[in-house]
Structure 1
Amino acid sequence: MTAHPLHHVTAIAGDARRNLDVYTRVLGLRLVKKTVNFDDPSAYHFYYGDEAGAPGSILTFFPWEHAARGRLGAGETQETLFRVPAGALAWWADRLEAEGLDVSAPETRFGETALPFRDPDGMRLALVETPAAGDEPAWTTDEIPAERALRGMRGVRLLLRATGPTAAILGDVFGFQETGRDGSVIRMEATGAPYGTVVELVEAPGAMPARAGRGSVHHIAFRASDDAAQAAMADKLRQSHGLQTTEQRDRNYFRSVYFREPGGVLFEIATDSPGFAIDEARDALGKALKLPPQYEKHRAEIEKVLPGLG
């Protein structure tokens, strides 16, 4: 069965300038698209990723300055994981601590070393040493050399009251396979792509429900090669699992359908095409504010409302 690893993760932030600084300067990701929330054009939508904005490297944010802090709970992405080359974590621990981020001690998970930390909004992330990452091209900055730079997402951890129904969806619809268990955590992996291939399911039967807000992940998206592959997955969800997706929505850089999986996490299926270079050259990604066609005629008003990033 064809596997469909992660396409992107979308989260909620507070201050837009702080978010931009943390993810581009501190973590060294590339801002590959600066646009607006299609449902709320008074707020930015930032897309961070690798040099090309490849599927599986993308972490996106809706920065709402006055958003209340979220509460981690059942039915939510507990942690978003990024890949770094082997031997990079000590350097990253020093850097993140020097920047005032909340950094935890390294952990061994399924034979890999992970460095958990939180961004200023409280979002939980981890850097995971991945030997293959050191041989891959890197987006670098003046402060972050290639031997330390992030190389796309490793995956996500989901916090669930029961893992079985979610695991069934991941296996039957998205082609993930169980590759390990560690106490209450199940690891499932996809093959055929370097990025976004791990989903870990953390079972917590007594967990309080999640409350979305600043620092929360809004949804996670899985890859579909094209519209036909997306439609096939939506059909399988309906026929085999009794789950309905939304109608397809055009997000300019991909086309999406959404559904709530049995554990309560909002899942998206996003097409690989047309990609982020559809409206600006690859070497200029993220430079200009890009608006969807329905908002272009309101550009002047939107630019007045959006917070300054200087």
Structure 2
Amino acid sequence: MSTAQPHGLHHVTAVAEAPQRNVDFYCRVLGLRLVKQTVNFDAPGAYHLYYGDGAGRPSSLITFFAWRDVPRGRLGTGLATATAFSIPEGSASWWRDHLRAQGVEADVTTRHGADVVAFRDPDGMVLELVTAAGDTRSGWDGVAGVPAEHALRGLHAVTLTERALDPTAEVLTSLLGMGLDGEDGGRARFAMGDGGSGALVDVHGTTSAERGLQAGGTVHHVAFRAPDETALARWRQGLVDAGLEATEVLDRKYFRSVYFREPGGVLFEIATDAPGFDVDEPLLELGRRLQLPPWLEPDREQIAAALPPLHVPDDQDAGLVPTD
């Protein structure tokens, strides 16, 4: 019997080196909204930047710990090695051309019957844009040179690279309630709930790749959606009962969450949908100013002084402001 049945991806968190370069790429090149400018709660000397749709809804989010001078990581086993976003059907060639015009190498391939635009961000993180039929999410509505008809809709899938596929598959199916949804090119696809874009995990099993090194340009953890804190606590207990080491429920201000590692080494998180990103600033002003949790507020002046200045693009909120 499964102990948890997440209803999709909540967010993916990765590691970047230069905060301003990160903002410029994800806002200006990919057209996402910076929905929260805060710090790593466990190491407040570094930014924690959240990007997503207009409201920062779960399943639209990619976040970054921005550590200055962090060394470049190495892709390999025991890591999430690709993060995919959903784009509308027919948008692959537009994105390929748009990315190339921005100096980003991008190629179009096909996987699971969908077009996939593959490229890397400035830190070397592997990203994919996948044409997803039936994805009704609106995404962020066409700022920073990305028309609404081509805008990223939200997270589509994550790819895990593992030396042994079976132990990870056992956790995904028996403990996280996912179902095997097919295989393609040495990858096994697992789906949450009814499946579809935003609820998919691909696992690539390989014995030839070396162990990955988590640092700049790699994923730190993958988070799945829990409906509420009651379910989160129940799922945590189920993980512990199954012999996995899970943290206590942690207060991340915008959600509550539990962390644990699957057998291959990838760090997983289960995070609640609520309370969301408008708990400390209005929807119209998301991401404009540094926000801190209550326990760090007494140190605001010291924390802010240690962080590099961050400029949010002027057109960041254009999609929320009525125009003439």
Q: Return the TM-score normalized by structure 1.
A: 0.95
2:109 touches 2:117 (CA, 8 Å); kept in 1? yes
Change (3 A) 1:195 1:31: farther
Give the ranges of 4+ consecutive aligned residues of structure 1 lying more than 2 Å apart after TM superposition. 1-4, 135-138, 172-175, 191-196
1:181 positional shift: 0.8
1:220 touches 1:268 (CA, 8 Å); kept in 2? yes
After superposition, give the CA deviation of every residue in 1:50-74 in whole Å (9 maximum; x if it has no partner).
1111111110001112000000111
1:220 touches 1:267 (CA, 8 Å); kept in 2? yes
- Gapped regions of structure 2 (runs ≥ 5): 312-324
Q: Who is 1:45 aligned against? A: 48
Deviates more, 1:110-119 or 1:194-203: 194-203
1:192 positional shift: 4.9
1:44 touches 1:62 (CA, 8 Å); kept in 2? yes
Correspondence 1:71 to 2:74: yes
Correspondence 1:205 to 2:203: no
1:301 positional shift: 1.6
1:160 touches 1:204 (CA, 8 Å); kept in 2? yes
Residue identity in the other structure for 2:45: S
Q: Who is 2:39 aligned against? A: 36
Q: Secondary structure at the match of 1:128?
A: strand
- Gapped regions of structure 1 (runs ≥ 5): none
Q: How does 1:1-310 map to 2 (within 5 A)?
A: 2-103=5-106, 105-133=107-135, 135-139=136-140, 140-192=142-194, 196-239=198-241, 241-310=242-311
- Percent identical across equivalent pairs? 49
Q: Secondary structure at the match of 1:115?
A: strand
Q: Return the TM-score normalized by structure 2.
A: 0.91
2:139 touches 2:154 (CA, 8 Å); kept in 1? no
2:29 touches 2:144 (CA, 8 Å); kept in 1? no
Residue identity in the other structure for 1:130: A
In 2: Cα distance, 1:30 partner to 1:160 partner: 32
1:194 positional shift: 6.4
In 2: Cα distance, 1:194 partner to 1:290 partner: 33
Aligned length: 307
In 1: Cα distance, 2:304 partner to 2:285 partner: 20
1:195 positional shift: 5.1
Change (3 A) 1:173 1:119: same
Aligned-CA RMSD value = 1.5
1:137 positional shift: 2.3
